[in-house]
Amino acid sequence: MGANQEDVEIDLINLFLHVIRKWKVIVAIGLILAISTFSFKYYKEVSSFKDAGVQKVAELEEKIASLNSSQKSHEDYLENSILVKSPFKLYESKYRLSVKENAAQDNSKIQQVNLPISEFCKNILFNAENQLLFRKDLKVETENNQVFEDLFEFDNESDSYVDVTVYADTKENLAKLEDHIDLLRSELSNKLGDKFDITLLKISSKYGDNDLGNTKKFRELGLVNRIKADLKTYEKELEDNQPQDFVKISTKFGLFGLIGGLFLGFTIYSFIYVFEGRLRDKNYLQNAFALRTIACLKTAFYKQTDKKELEKLIGSLKILCKEQKKVVAVSTLTKEQLTESLTAINQVMQELSVDFELVDPCKVQAVNDADKVFILEKIDESKLEAVVDEVNLIKTFSQNLLGVIYA
């Protein structure tokens, strides 16, 4: 039965503690990057400060002024928008505005329509005169025309018609905005003349959740937050372009380099831990090969031996190895790496008068001759690929495999 290393679960605590053991190398990587970034920034600051001059400062001030203006516009929208200020419910009506030829057209007249229809309608609906009417009708004092334009939505457009949806917070405001839709139809008729039929049909109306307003509110808040972040960046850059202590500036970059180096070192050793192919999961062999776990003395390299598991090991071996002549433990590790567990196992085997031997997986003759066989490995030390080969080999040459003991 095959097995794949990628199936082994990684314990994050084990990973962290394993990586921390390499702290000296990780700190060295951090210091190297800290010195490098400090030196690079110091050199750049000294060499470029002379060239920054008035032009750079002027550019930054212009960007800051533009962002301040944009922030003010978005905050004004949030303060005055009917959609945003009606958080729960909203009135809406949908109309279909149709523009159809009722006679042959000459080219000049067709060009006057300036399709698409929606753009032609917006130029009429949102002209300066109508914007003043919006302010008067809705009693909203703002220079931000988007507050009113967002109350109208154009969709389902074709060559001859477009659907117009109007939104309002109250029935009274909805009626006033519907008057603007009717006014749009009249102005279209006046502009296009008798050679076009202009029809306006109300196709739906409802009172429901204000999803549109909430969406716009979150969008505007997001834009304001991004503008504030950009302002902070540009203001910091403007500050950095003024004469100041280059060592202080470079030290900050050195700290970033230190943090980056520590992170890099931690990441490198984390990848080594994940991909070095060690046995990490006490349930892996059981799941992959239906192999019994006799006992697990340690579930990680840093833990102390579990006394209950040690008692379980001794009791299990006394039952499993009773009245056997020869028992073999197979391991990819050395005796020195398994000293503690071998001490307990030898005591049990002596008590049972059983001939016991620890062998390498390649000693198939010893495995075949043994009455009982078990695997002895250590989590975080045994190589997973070698252990998988070990299990497959033992299963090939012995029908007496008891299971696995994690030392």
In the chain, CATH 3.30.70 sits at: 89-209
Burial of 353 per CB tally in 10 Å (0-12, 13-18, 19+): exposed
Closest CA to 152 of 82, 102, 53, 254: 82
Q: How confident is the model at residue 10 (pLDDT cuts 50, 70, 90)?
A: low
The candidate with the shortest Cα–Cα distance to 381, out of 255, 231, 276, 245, is 276
CA-CA distance, 148 to 164, in Å (whole number)? 14
pLDDT at residue 12, rounded to an integer? 76
Rounded mean pLDDT, 350-368: 93
Percent of the chain with pLDDT over 90: 39
**Model confidence pLDDT, tens digit, residues 40-62:** 877 776 666 655 556 777 788 88
pTM of the predicted model, to two decimals? 0.42
CA distance 385 to 278: 8
Segment among 51-65, 102-116, 214-228, 229-243 with least mean pLDDT: 102-116
Residues 279, 379: Cα–Cα separation, whole Å: 5
Task: Assign 108 a pLDDT band (cuts: 50, 70, 90).
Answer: very low
Token pair for 217: 């509110």
Residue 17, sorted as left (phi over 0), alpha (psi -120 to 50) or beta, turns out to be: alpha
Q: Which residue has the higher pLDDT, 103 or 214?
A: 214
Give 363-401 pLDDT, tens digit per residue: 999 999 999 999 999 998 899 999 999 999 999 998 999
Show Cβ contacts of residue 172 under 8 Å, excluding neighbours closer than 6 positions: none
Q: Is the pLDDT of residue 11 over 70?
A: no
Residue whose C-alpha is closest to residue 291's, from 407, 394, 397:
394
Task: Give 8's DSSP letter.
Answer: S
Average pLDDT over residues 272-294: 86
Helix (H, G, I), strand (E, B) or coil at 282: coil
Residue 155: φ, ψ to 5°: -150, 180
β-strands 401-406, 355-359: how paired?
unpaired
- What phi and psi values does residue 376 have, to the nearest 5 degrees? -125, 110
Q: Please check the confidence at residue 110 and state whether its pLDDT lies above 50.
A: no
Query: Which residue type, as a one-letter code, is found at position 324?
Result: Q
Structure tokens at 57: 């400062």
Going by pLDDT thresholds of 50, 70 and 90, the confidence category of residue 202 is very high
> Could you tell me which residue, 201 or 86, shows the higher pLDDT?
201
Residues 123-182: tens digit of each pLDDT: 888 988 888 988 898 888 888 888 998 999 999 988 888 999 999 999 999 999 999 998
> Where in the chain are all domains bearing CATH 3.40.1010.20?
284-406
Q: What percent of the chain has pLDDT over 70?
A: 90
Q: What is the pLDDT of residue 39?
A: 83
CATH annotation of 284-406 = 3.40.1010.20
Q: How far apart are CA 99 and CA 278, in angstroms?
A: 74
Per-residue pLDDT, 258:
86
pLDDT on residue 50? 59
Residue 83 pLDDT exceeds 90: no
Task: Write the CA distances from 127 to 122, 132, 184, 294, 357, integer angstroms.
Answer: 8, 9, 11, 84, 96
Structure-derived torsion over alpha carbons of residues 130, 131, 132, 138, reported in degrees to the nearest 10: 100
Q: Spell out the CATH class of 89-209.
A: alpha beta
Asked if residues 210 and 195 have their Cβ atoms less than 8 Å apart, the reply is no
Q: Report the C-alpha gap between 12 and 280 in whole angstroms.
A: 11
Kindly state the average pLDDT of the residues 30-40: 86
C-alpha dihedral, 362 to 365 to 368 to 373, nearest 10° = -50
